[in-house]
Amino acid sequence: MADEEKKAVAAKADKAPKLADPIKASIDPATQQMIARAQELGIDTVFDRAEAMKPCAIGATGICCKNCSMGPCRLPLPKGGIVGEDTRKGLCGATPNTIAARNFIRMIAGGASAHSDHGRSVAEVFMSAARKETDAYQIKDTQKLLAVAEALDVATTVEVDGETKARDMDEIALETAEKALNEWGKSEGELLYLKRAPKPRYELWKKMGVLPRNIDREIVEIMHRTHMGVDQDYRNLIKQGTRAALADGWGGSMLATDLQDIVFGTPSPIQSEANLGIMKEDHVNIIVHGHEPVLSEIVVAVAQSPEMLDYAKKKGAKGIQLGGICCTANEILQRHGIPTAATFLQQELAIITGACDAMVVDIQCIFQNLANVAKCFHTKLITTHPIAKMEQDNVIHIEFDEHHALDDAKKIVKMAIDNFENRKTEVMIPRHKAAQVAGFGVESIEYHLGGSFRGTFYTLNDNIINGRIRGVAGVVGCNNARTRHNEGHITVVKELIKNDVLVLTTGCNAIACAMEGLLTPEAAGVYCGPGLTEVCETVGIPPVLHLGSCVDNSRILLAATEVVKAGGLGNDLSDLPVAGSAPEWMSEKAISIGHYFVASGVYTVFGVGLPVEGAPVFQNYIFNEFEKLYGGMWDLEIDPIKHAHKMIAHIDKKRKALGIDKARERVLMDMADRQALEA
C-alpha cells in the first residue's frame, strides 16, 4: 500500500467511532454476544454510543442551570475543592445549592408524573370497566377492590332495616373509580392513601408539612417553584420535592398497582424464564416494551387465542412467542408468566436477533434508536400511545384505545404474523436464558411466610427478630450505559443475600436477577448465608422476591408497613432493619422512587453517581441532615460491594437500636455449632 493510501486508511480508522468492548460492557453472555453481532453488522447500539459520547461533568454533578435564557449557567467545582466560602453563582445569583436542588426536584417531577400519568390511564380503564363500557376489561379481583374501596373511604356495606349487608359490587366499583380518579386533581384535602402508612409516619409528614394535596398539584408546584426567580432555598425546594415524591409512592404509583390488580388480577408466584434466549427462531416473536399493561394484557390474550395460533401456523410458524422488555415485561410476567426478553439496555439487541417480527411499544424507557435498528431488519416497530410517537418514517402508529382494545390487539398480532415470512437477515438468537419465579406481593409474602395459620407477617418478623433474616433490602431500578450492564445489580444482590438479607426487587433489577438465576428457590442454597438459606428452604421461596414493575415499588412500602403492624420491630418504617438501593439507576423515575423511600424513613443508596455532587451543602442536607428529619437518607456508593455493606451496616444499626443484635449472634453461633457437629 502506498504511503498516501496508508495515511488515508489510518485517518479513517481514527475517525471511526470507538466501539464498545462487549465483555467490558456487560456481564451477561447473551448481551456480549449480541453487542458483537451488532458490530459485525455495522449497527450501533447504546453500548457503542456510550463509548463515543462522554457525559458532561457539570450537568452530571447537578450544577448546570438551564431554567432561563441568560444561561445555561455552569458552576463547576473549583479544582482542589472549595476552600473558604463557596462564591460560585449564576447570572441571577443562584447558588450551586439552589441550582442542584431545583434540578433534583424537577427530576422528581418528571418521575412522579410518569408513574402517576400511567396510574391515571389505568384509573380511566378501571372507570370504563366499572361503567361496563368495554368488553375487554372487567373487574377481576373483587377482594382487592374491597380493600382499595376501604382505603379510599368507600362504603362496602349498607344498612338495610337495621341489618348490615354487603353493598352491590358494581356500585362499589363505580364509587371507587370516581374516588380514585379524584386523587389526581381534587381541590381540597390530602391524598387518602397516606393514612395507609404507619401512624407515626403519617404524623411526621403532617408535622413536616409535606402531606400531598393531590397528585397533579404537587408536580405543577415543582415547575412553578423552579421557574426562574421563585424558590431560592434548597431546604424549601426539596420540601416540595418530598411532597411530590410522596404523591408518587403513596399516590400515583400505589393507585397504578392497586387498580391494575383489580382489573388484571393480583399476581401470585408464577414460573417463567428470562433473557434473549426466550425468543424462538421457528415462532412469530412479538416483543412488548414499555410500561402500561393496558394494551399488553390484551395482546397476551389475543396472541394465545386459537384463531391467531392457527393463522401463525398457516404462515409457516410453529407458534407465537411473546416476550417483554422493561416494566411491561414485569407486568405480563407476574400475571401470566410471559417470559422476559430483556432489560432496558438490551432493547436494541432484541431486534438485532433478526427474529423480532414486531416490537410493540407504549410509554417510557423506549430508545428512539429502536427505529433506526428496526430499519436494518424486517421488524415492525409499532407505537401505540397518543403521547409517545417517533419521528422516523418506518415506525407504524396504531393508536390504542380501551374502547376498541381487542380490535387493536388483533391488528397488531396479525401484522406480526404476516411479517414472519419477511425475515431477511440470518437469525441469531443467543442460547442464554434462566428460570425464574416471579409474582410476589404483599398478599403472597403474607401467605408464603405466614406460618401455620397462613396470612400474617408474624413469621417474617419472627425470623428477623431471631436473626435468621438479618434484614430486608429493596433493590430496584434501571440499567445505565455508564456502568457495566448488570454488574452492579448482581454484585449488590449477591452480597446482600450472602449476608442473610432478604431482597425484594422490581423493575430492571428484577430482570437482571432473573437472568442470573437468583429468582429461583434453588438459588438459596447456592448464594445465601445460613440463616436466609434455612428460611427460604423451609418455605420454598427464592432469596430474591420479584415484586413487579417500578410502580410496584409501592408494594414494598405496603409490605414494610405490614411488618411494622405485625409487631416487635418498632413503630415506624424508619425503625425497621431495612435499606433501599438502585445500583444502576438512570431515569427520573428512579429519583422520585429514591426520594419517596427516603421520605418514608428508608436509608437509600444509589450507584453510578448523583446530580448533587457539585453542591456539597445540598448534598449533605439530603445525605445526612435528612436522617434527623425523616429517619431516612440518601447515599451514593459506586463500588457494589461497599454499596451492599453500607446497607448491611445500616441494617445492623437498626437491629442494635431495636435490641435484637444479640439474637443474630446467637443464631449464627447455633448454626456454626450445628455444622461442626455434622462434620
Q: Which is nearer to ligand NFS, 549 or 600 (CB)?
A: 549
String of contacts with ligand NFS for each residue 482-521, x by CB under 6 A:
-------------------------xx-------------
Cis-peptide, bond into residue 72, ω within 30° of zero: yes
The answer on whether 327 is annotated among ligand-binding residues is: yes
Nearest-CA neighbor of 506 among 561, 440, 450? 440
**The one among 589, 643, 646, 655 contacting ligand NFS by CB under 6 A:** 589
Q: Which is nearer to ligand NFS, 276 or 508 (CB)?
A: 508
Assigned C-alpha cell, 130? 366499572
Q: Which is nearer to ligand NFS, 214 or 587 (CB)?
A: 587
> Taking each helix axis from N to C terminus, what angle separates 215-225 and 96-130, rounded to the nearest 10 degrees?
160
String of contacts with ligand NFS for each residue 81-120, x by CB under 6 A:
----------------------------------------
Separation of alpha carbons 542 and 495, rounded Å: 15
Separation of alpha carbons 291 and 67, rounded Å: 29
Q: Which 282-301 positions form the footprint of ligand NFS (CB under 6 A)?
A: 291
Separation of alpha carbons 475 and 585, rounded Å: 11
Q: Which is nearer to ligand NFS, 457 or 634 (CB)?
A: 634
Q: Least CB distance from residue 659 to ligand NFS, whole Å?
A: 36
CA angle 332–337–341, rounded 5-degree value: 70
Q: Which is nearer to ligand NFS, 194 or 329 (CB)?
A: 329
Q: Least CB distance from residue 355 to ligand NFS, whole Å?
A: 22
- Answer whether 194's CB lies under 8 Å from 188's CB: no
478 in contact with ligand NFS (CB under 6 A): yes
DSSP letter assigned to residue 399: -
Separation of alpha carbons 550 and 282, rounded Å: 33
Q: Which is nearer to ligand NFS, 67 or 328 (CB)?
A: 328
Which residues is 294 bridged to in the sheet? none
- Give every CB contact of residue 114 below 8 A, 6+ residues apart in sequence: 291, 363, 364, 587, 588, 589
Nearest-CA neighbor of 332 among 591, 114, 588, 546? 546
The answer on whether 92 is annotated among ligand-binding residues is: yes
344 in contact with ligand NFS (CB under 6 A): yes
Helices (H), 337-421: 347-352, 369-375, 405-419
326 in contact with ligand NFS (CB under 6 A): yes
The answer on whether 513 is annotated among ligand-binding residues is: no
- Give every CB contact of residue 188 below 8 A, 6+ residues apart in sequence: 213
**β-strands 64-65, 340-342 pairing:** unpaired
Assigned C-alpha cell, 422? 419477511
Q: Least CB distance from residue 511 to ligand NFS, whole Å?
A: 8
- Answer whether 300's CB lies under 8 Å from 324's CB: no
477 in contact with ligand NFS (CB under 6 A): yes
Q: Least CB distance from residue 329 to ligand NFS, whole Å?
A: 8
Count other C-beta atoms under 10 Å from residue 138's C-beta. 13
419 in contact with ligand NFS (CB under 6 A): no
Q: Which is nearer to ligand NFS, 291 or 654 (CB)?
A: 291
CA angle 582–585–591, rounded 5-degree value: 85
Q: Least CB distance from residue 504 to ligand NFS, whole Å?
A: 14
Q: Which 352-381 positions form the footprint of ligand NFS (CB under 6 A)?
A: 365
Q: Which is nearer to ligand NFS, 176 or 330 (CB)?
A: 330
The answer on whether 508 is annotated among ligand-binding residues is: yes
Q: Least CB distance from residue 320 to ligand NFS, whole Å?
A: 24
Nearest-CA neighbor of 256 among 448, 489, 506, 480? 506
Q: Is 388 left (phi over 0), alpha (psi -120 to 50) or beta?
A: beta
Q: Least CB distance from residue 368 to ligand NFS, whole Å?
A: 15
Q: Least CB distance from residue 477 to ligand NFS, whole Å?
A: 5
Helix or strand or coil: residue 227? Answer: coil
587 in contact with ligand NFS (CB under 6 A): yes
- Answer whether 49's CB lies under 8 Å from 86's CB: no
Burial class of residue 124 in the structure, from the number of CB atoms within 10 Å of its CB (0-12 exposed, 13-18 middle, 19+ buried): middle
Q: Least CB distance from residue 114 to ligand NFS, whole Å?
A: 8
String of contacts with ligand NFS for each residue 157-196, x by CB under 6 A:
----------------------------------------
Q: State the binding site.
A: 56, 64-65, 68, 73, 92, 291, 327, 365, 478, 508, 550
The contact set with ligand NFS (CB under 6 A) reads 291, 326-327, 344, 365, 477-478, 507-508, 549-550, 587, 589
Question: Which amino acids are annotated as binding site for [4Fe-4S] cluster, given as ranges?
Answer: 56, 64-65, 68, 73, 92
Binding residues for [Ni-4Fe-4S] cluster: 291, 327, 365, 478, 508, 550
